């Protein structure tokens, strides 16, 4: 295999678990393709890191037909050529140059309306190739052509929730005007907002607070789909979802799934809530949230939604699946505990650890050990200490250095040898002493 094309070599390496086996039992191919599609790859010439099952499957059958040579990428035989009639090409290019923001759909529709082409005569791919050849597919300052997506909806309420953050109005906070951020969680099947709140920021802690209220009110989703921002990728949020049995899924960068539904929600919210909001009446953030929750429950959830069948309201569609929803059950009693943060610390030799600029005393025997602090982030309290397996190791109390001046310290018990005491039994020193002096006196 001399001078193997690098792309072919990469594709062959991806197929390793398939091509290394003489035969595949029934169902094994699909299972292996599914597993390979979950991995991340360093794809030559691409910014992406994931491959679809269909792509890997196509490579596999190409390899079976022609070996590794069949994995070499082939250039299109008609590359740079267009099958569109010259006069239609000229009309398309002129229309695009006249208004660079016209999409392929708009160009095709424009020519059909003018009678230049018959309805359905031009394919999307043919127009795209023509524009790409002439450098018009991504003009400077204009957005690129969106990748094709298919509309879908979850079968049942509670199957998928989406989360997103929207910039809100400026309201009084801490004696001055500050921007508020709307954190929302939407149920895909019903478009019901399981919970939303204006927060002082868009941190992981703000998102966790909204999620906590959402599961209290609406049960547990099977999947929670979030954007790829750093706040969503916090380990604390990942740990909470794992403890609740929620599959946390991140959208691909710059292509968040479900964005259209969330954008529709944000547009509705701006048009119907923010446009009617009298900011002069707001005293603080809680005042704004009180109006938000009243509007959600009395207006949005009870208004027929255009994206639902039979003119259903989000609340009616959600209640339709109440028997199927996953409830908290016995976990409701310990929900606060499930949302606690757990942070690793090394105990100092004086038996203290630090958290957010404050020092706490833990059991002194943990000195110099690596431990886990259990923290209530909303109350800003350190509650206790655990080991790596979640077993409690004791309490964590704020350090009181002044009180420690008068505190009686525990001292290690002195051994018999080090204290000079003993029970009278012979030891190595006494035996050597008697042996030496007894031998000396005998002489």
Question: Each residue's pLDDT tens digit in the chain (443 positions)?
Answer: 446 677 887 888 888 888 777 677 878 888 888 888 888 888 877 777 888 889 988 988 888 888 888 888 876 555 556 778 888 888 888 888 888 888 888 888 888 888 888 888 888 888 888 888 888 876 444 444 444 455 557 789 999 999 999 999 999 998 899 999 999 999 999 999 999 999 999 888 999 999 999 999 999 999 999 887 777 788 888 888 888 999 998 876 555 555 788 889 999 999 999 989 999 999 999 999 999 999 999 999 999 998 888 889 999 999 999 999 999 888 888 888 889 888 888 989 888 888 888 888 888 888 888 888 888 888 788 888 888 777 888 888 888 766 655 555 555 555 544 445 555 556 777 777 777 777 656 55
Contacts of 69 (CB under 8 A, 6+ apart): 8
Sketch out the chain's domains with CATH numbers: 6-71 (no CATH), 86-133 (1.10.10), 160-322 (3.30.420.10), 340-406 (2.40.50)
3-state secondary structure the chain: CCCCCHHHHHHHHHCHHHHCCCCCCCCHHHHHHHHHCCCCCCCCCCCCCCCCHHHHHHHHHHHHHHHHHHHCCCCCCCCCCCCCCHHHHHHHHHHHHHCCCCCHHHHHHHHHHHCCCCCCCCCHHHHHHHHHHCCCCCCCCCCCCCCCCCCCCCCCCCCEEEEEEEEEEEEEECCEEEEEEEEEEEECCCCCEEEEEEECCCCHHHHHHHHHHHHHHHCECCEEEECCCCCCCCHHHHHHHHHHCCEEEECECCECCCHHHHHHHHHHHHHHCHHHCCHHHCCCHHHHHHHHHHHHHHCHHHCCCCCCHHHCCHHHHHHHCHHHCECCHHHHHHHHHHCCEEEEEECCCCCEEEECCEEEECCHHHCCCEEEEEEECCCCEEEEEECCCCCEEECCEECCHHHHHHCCCCCCCCCHHHHCCCCCCCCHHHHHHHHHHHHHHHC
283: Cα within 13 Å, side-chain hemisphere: 3
Most distant pair of Cα atoms in the chain: their distance: 135
Q: Residue 417's pLDDT is what?
A: 45
Backbone angles phi, psi at 3, to 5 degrees: 55, 50
Q: Residue 418's pLDDT is what?
A: 47
Q: Residue 258's pLDDT is what?
A: 56
User: Which of 404, 397, 399 is closest to 373 using CA atoms?
Assistant: 397
Q: Residue 416's pLDDT is what?
A: 46
The Cα–Cα gap between 207 and 333 comes to: 21
Output the six-digit token pair for 306: 């255009």
The Cα–Cα gap between 366 and 418 comes to: 25
Query: Do 208 and 240 form a contact (C-beta atoms < 8 A)?
Result: yes
Q: Residue 158's pLDDT is what?
A: 92
CB atoms within 10 A of CB 4: 14
The Cα–Cα gap between 151 and 264 comes to: 14
Q: Residue 1's pLDDT is what?
A: 43
219-241 in b/e burial notation, b at 16+ Cβ within 10 A?
Answer: bbbebbbbbebebbebebbebbb
């Amino acid at each position: 295999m001399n001078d193997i094309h690098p792309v072919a070599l990469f594709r062959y390496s991806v197929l390793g678990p398939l091509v290394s086996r003489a035969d595949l039992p029934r169902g094994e191919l699909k299972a292996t393709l599914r597993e390979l599609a979950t991995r991340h790859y360093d794809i030559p010439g691409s910014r992406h890191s994931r491959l679809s099952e269909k792509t890997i499957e196509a490579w596999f059958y190409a390899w079976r037909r022609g070996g590794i040579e069949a994995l070499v990428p082939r250039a299109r035989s008609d590359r740079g050529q267009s099958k569109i009639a010259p006069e239609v090409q000229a009309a398309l290019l002129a229309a695009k140059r006249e208004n660079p923001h016209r999409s392929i759909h708009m160009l095709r529709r424009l020519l059909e309306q003018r009678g230049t082409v018959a309805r359905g005569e031009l394919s999307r791919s043919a127009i795209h190739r023509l524009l790409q050849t002439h450098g018009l597919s991504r003009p400077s300052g204009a957005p690129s052509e969106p990748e094709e997506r298919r509309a879908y909806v979850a079968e049942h309420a509670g199957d998928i929730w989406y989360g997103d953050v929207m910039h809100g109005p400026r309201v009084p906070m801490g004696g001055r005007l500050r921007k508020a951020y709307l954190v929302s969680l939407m149920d895909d099947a019903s478009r019901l907002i399981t919970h939303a709140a204006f927060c002082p920021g868009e941190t992981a802690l703000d998102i966790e607070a909204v999620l906590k209220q959402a599961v209290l009110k609406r049960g547990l989703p099977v999947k929670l789909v979030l954007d790829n921002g750093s706040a969503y990728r916090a380990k604390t949020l990942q740990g909470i979802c794992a403890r609740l049995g929620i599959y946390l899924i991140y959208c691909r960068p710059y292509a968040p799934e479900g964005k259209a539904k969330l954008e529709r929600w944000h547009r509705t919210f701006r048009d119907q809530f923010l446009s009617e909001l009298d900011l002069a009446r707001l005293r603080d953030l809680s005042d704004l949230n009180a109006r938000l929750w009243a509007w959600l429950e009395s207006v949005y959830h009870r208004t027929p939604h255009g994206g639902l069948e039979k003119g259903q309201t989000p609340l009616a569609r959600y209640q339709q699946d109440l028997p199927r929803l996953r409830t908290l059950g016995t976990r409701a009693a310990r929900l606060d505990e499930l949302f606690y943060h757990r942070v690793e610390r090394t105990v100092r030799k004086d038996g203290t650890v630090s958290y957010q600029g404050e020092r706490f005393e833990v059991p002194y025997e943990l000195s110099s050990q690596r431990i886990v602090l259990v923290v209530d982030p909303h109350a800003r309290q350190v509650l206790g200490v655990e080991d790596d397996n979640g077993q409690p190791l004791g309490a964590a109390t704020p350090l009181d250095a002044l009180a420690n001046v008068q505190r009686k310290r525990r001292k290690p018990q002195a051994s018999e040898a080090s204290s000079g005491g003993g029970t009278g039994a012979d030891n190595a020193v006494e035996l050597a002493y008697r042996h030496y002096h007894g031998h000396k006196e005998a002489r």
